[in-house]
Amino acid sequence: MLDWTDRHCRFFLRLITRRSWLYTEMVTTGALLHGDVPHHLDFDPAEHPVALQLGGSDPAALAHCAKLGERWGYDEIDLNVGCPSPRVQNGSFGACLMAEPALVADCVRAMRDAVAIPVSVKHRLGLDRNEDYGFVRDFVGTVAAAGCGIFVVHARNAVLKGLSPKENRDVPPLRYDVVHRLKREFPTLTIVVNGGLARWDAIDRELAHVDGAMLGRAAYHDPWLLAQADWRAYGDEAPGPSRADVLRAMIPYAEEQLRRGTALRAIACHVLGLYHGQSGGRRFRQILSDSEKLKRAGPELFLEALEAVEPVADS
């Protein structure tokens, strides 16, 4: 979700769901050790609960970056051991780390020793064509012994050679049953399933077997999916806002961000899916992605887009 779940996206999603955990895009240890730390770590307090996802393979560097994340106020540190992109592999982190469970355990141990907040690991079921359950079972067991209690499991293998990152999201078959088996074998761990979930009937089926479900691109393209999360996943039946309420709430946020020098397009791009599947949704997206309008307009552009979806704006 690199360049997708940035702070503006997360603020928007938090307006839709009060309870769901939000995760940052992956931030590499190098970016924090040698780059602009506030740029990568600043977030709005409204985003809580929010987890910082790190990419790296050096225990000391990860411990340092986890400390930074805790100091910045994040609620959890997540280690990415699932990204299959060649660039990430060249940096010796991401999914290729599944072949080195002892190193991942050392990374987790170093982070656990450095911070008081939870440390989680996001990973795949296996590498390339290896679909042996013992591989992922031993990986989880080794990393859990180092102090990790939360595993977010993308229910596919990562094919490191021969498939692009996009193909790795679609081609390797989904094997939810393996994630269920992990939960049965490790009942005290928090097991969260990820991959291919885009409808609440499917999510509900998974929640009968595991502790949680992570949504990625499905929630980005159709963010109103998350409007049901509070009551379906958390039992919170307090009324939520309408789509129009959410859009109006983005206006003061955008005004403040523009005063700080943020371009309106950097905020508007995350809102495009708010009226996915709704009457007027196409015109809504056209207005908020019009490059000329985005250059000239301020946050009032959200109100112009809202007019395009009347009279369903309060649905």
End-to-end CA distance of the chain: 29
Sign of CA dihedral 7, 261, 16, 156: negative
Q: Tell me the residue ranges of DSSP E strands in 82-146.
A: 119-123, 126-127
Residue 235's identity, in one-letter code, is G
- C-alpha torsion 111→23→218→274, nearest 10: 180
List 83, 96, 107, 148, catalytic entry: 83
| Chain position carrying tokens 């097991």 | 191
- 213 three-class SS: strand
Sign of CA dihedral 43, 49, 50, 56: positive
Residue 52's identity, in one-letter code, is L
- C-alpha torsion 251→253→258→259, nearest 10: 120
Mark whether 96 is an active-site residue: no
SS3 content of the chain, % helix, strand, coil (to 5): 50, 10, 35
Q: Which helix (H) or strand (E) element contains residue 64? A: helix 59-72
| Residues tagged active-site | 83
